[in-house]
Chain A
C-alpha cells in the first residue's frame, strides 16, 4: 500500500492507467454538486439541438437549403424508420418523444469525440437511468391506457396456449423482463458502451503521451499508440451513432409491443 502510494505520488514515474476515477469530474464551482461537466454538457446539447432545428426549420422552403435538408433528413429518418415502420399507423403520437430521445442521446454521445469537449455525457450512469425511466413509464402508460391495467398485466403474464402448471415457471420471467430487465438493459447498454469507449480512447492517447516521455525505443512506438487512438475515434463515432439508434429503436419496439393486441 505504501509503495503504491509512493509511486503514484512521483511525477512521471510509472504509468497510471486510466480508470473509473477519470469519470469523476469534480464540480467547477466549489461545493455545488450540479456544476459539473456532464450536466453542463447535457444543457449544451439541448441548446445545440434546439438551435440547429430552429434554424433548419425557420426558412422552410419547397426547395430546401442545405441546413433545412440536414434537419429534415434526421427528422424523416426518425419518423419513418423508427416511428412508422416499427409502431404502425399510430406512430405520429410518439414521433416527438422518439425524435427528442434520438437527438439528445446522439449529440451527448458525440461529445465523446468532439475536440475540447471529449466527454460522453452518457458515460455517467444517471443520464441513461433517467432516459430509460422515461421510456419505461411511456410504454407502460401507453399499454395501460390501451388495454386497461388488469388486461395489460394479464397480457404480459399469461401467454395463451400454455399448460397451466408452466405459468409458475414463466410468469415470473415475463414480469421480470418487462419491469426489470428492459429498463436495466436499456440504460446499461448505453452507459457501458460510452464508458468503455471513452476509457479505450484514454488508454491509447494517454499511453501514447507517456511513451513519448520514455527512452528512444519507446518514443518510436508512441506514434502507433496515437494512430490506434485515432482509428478508435472513428470506431467510436460508429458506436455512438449506433447506440443512439438502438436506444430509440428499442423504445419504439416496446411502445409497439404495448400497443399490440396480444403481447
Chain B
C-alpha cells in the first residue's frame, strides 16, 4: 500500500483545497448577494483556505 499513498494523498489534498474554497467561498458569496456587501466572499475564501489547510494538517501532518 505504501507506493499508492502518494497518489492518494495528492488527490485527497487537492479535493480538500477545492471543497474548502467552494464551500466557504460559496457561503461568503451567498452572504454578499443577500446582504449587498462585498467582503464576505473574500473572508469566506480565506476561511475556506485556512480550514482546508488545517484539515490537511490533521490528516497528514499530525504524526
Contacts and interface: CB of A to CB of B under 8 A. Distances in A.
Interface in A135-188: 159, 161-162, 166, 169-170, 172-174, 176-177, 180-182, 185
B58 A170 contact: yes
Nearest to A246: B7
A138 to B, nearest CB: 17
Contact of A173 (B14, B19, B62): B19
B48 to A, nearest CB: 8
Contacts of B11: 185, 250
A86 B1 contact: yes
Contacts of A203: none
A173 B55 contact: yes
Contact of B47 (A159, A169, A180, A185): A169
A86 B54 contact: no
A50 B3 CA distance: 32
Contacts of B7: 246, 249-250, 253
Dominant SS among interface residues on chain A = helix
Contacts of B33: none
Given A162-B58, A166-B54, A181-B15, A173 B20 contact: yes
Contacts of A86: 1, 4
Nearest to A174: B55
Contact of B19 (A159, A166, A181, A253): A181
Place the interface of chain A in its size category.
Answer: 20 to 34
A169 B54 contact: yes
Contacts of B24: 169, 172
A261 interface: no
Interface in B5-20: 7-8, 11-12, 14-16, 18-20
B12 to A, nearest CB: 8
Scoring A88, A169, A246, A249 by chain B CB atoms within 10 A of each residue's CB, the highest score goes to A169
A85 B59 contact: no
B54 to A, nearest CB: 7
B25 to A, nearest CB: 11
Given A159-B58, A170-B58, A172-B23, A181 B18 contact: yes
B22 interface: yes
B51 A177 contact: no
A173 B18 CA distance: 9
Nearest to B20: A173
Interface of A: 85-86, 88, 159, 161-162, 166, 169-170, 172-174, 176-177, 180-182, 185, 246, 249-250, 253
15 contacts: A86-B1, A159-B59, A169-B54, A170-B54, A172-B23, A173-B52, A174-B55, A176-B23, A177-B16, A180-B19, A181-B15, A185-B18, A250-B11, A253-B4, A253-B8
In the A-B complex, list the 3 residue pairs whose CB atoms are closest, starting with the nearest: A176-B19, A169-B51, A181-B15
